[in-house]
Amino acid sequence: MQTAPEKEAPVHEAPMIIDYVARVVGEKMGGRTSVAHLDLGAGWGHLIQALRRILPELKSSGCDYNPSHFPLKDVPIVHADFSRDTLPYADESFDLVTCTEVFEHLENFRHAVREAARVTRPGGLFVVSTPNVLTVKARFVYLTRGFFTYFDPLPLKNDPNIYPGQRHISPIPYFYLAHALLDAGFKEVEPHCDKAQKFSSIFGVVLAPVFRFFTALSLRERRRRFFHLSDDLEALAAQQNCWTVLTGRTLIVCARKAGPAKN
């Protein structure tokens, strides 16, 4: 009797988004030895494999909406609906939590952020990536077409020609993702990107000062007429016009769980 061949992850030669996420993780987790890691939306295990090359003593667990295609036999994998479910892990279980290219598919990304915060240890790192809808190119597309880049008109979830979980249904601008992270108990929120778009880089040289000028006007008017946000939140809002956000194709955001790190 023949046994079915083991599943293998598709091979990609060009750099993937997970390679850029792994680079950010390496910069933030450098020097760590044993690292308890949870990958939300583990997919084919590409990110876990990339992280193993830079964190040899990584101890990963995977969580995915459809874990049946996950090929790494030495990594425990479980099912969860990140929009609704409580993750099947105890509080403060992981030093590192990652979530790449998942939030744009969720109906409730803030629930996923809160769950990520719950299972992250104090001082631990959370890294999430999602399409960047605030590049100069994306703003131009939205101005002219009324749709965000990567978020064209969508089929309904019961369309027989598509897999519902692959739809991009939630465009998440940087500030709103960062705000959700702070609300959930993270700190030190930082934007990173995979690579800069040529269109956005060329026109960003001219338009970035314009965007920042109108942001400053809006800030002054808001403080005069309505209310005063904390300086931290105002700085976070201003980051929507930083060069990384204006030009980076994919938004990669990292944050630390508040509280002293546990050894």
Instruction: Give me the residue spans of the domains in the chain.
Output: 17-132+147-196+249-257
pLDDT score of 60 more than 50: yes
pLDDT score of 263 more than 70: no
pTM of the model: 0.90
Lowest mean pLDDT among 95-99, 104-108, 209-213, 222-226: 222-226
pLDDT score of 164 more than 80: no
pLDDT: is 223 or 31 the higher one? Answer: 223
| Separation of alpha carbons 234 and 182, rounded Å | 13
Contact 114, 226 (CB under 8 A): no
The pLDDT of residue 110: 98
pLDDT score of 170 more than 60: yes
- State both tokens at 188: 């030190």
| Separation of alpha carbons 262 and 130, rounded Å | 29
CA torsion sign for 128, 134, 140, 145 is positive
The pLDDT of residue 32: 77
Lowest mean pLDDT among 9-13, 66-70, 190-194, 251-255: 9-13
CA dihedral 105, 111, 114, 120 (to 10 degrees): -50
pLDDT score of 185 more than 90: yes
Task: Tell me the three state secondary structure of residue 8.
Answer: coil
Where do the H-state alpha helices sit in the chain? 17-29, 46-54, 109-119, 136-145, 174-184, 198-225, 231-238, 243-247
Average pLDDT of the chain is 91
Task: Tell me the three state secondary structure of residue 241.
Answer: helix
The pLDDT of residue 244: 97
Contact 160, 142 (CB under 8 A): no
The pLDDT of residue 99: 98
Percent residues over pLDDT 70 in the chain: 94
Overall CATH class of domain 17-132+147-196+249-257: alpha beta
| Separation of alpha carbons 46 and 43, rounded Å | 7
Give the C-alpha distances (Å, rounded to integers) separating 29 from 18, 19, 24, 254.
16, 15, 9, 11
What is the identity of the amino acid at 37?
Answer: H
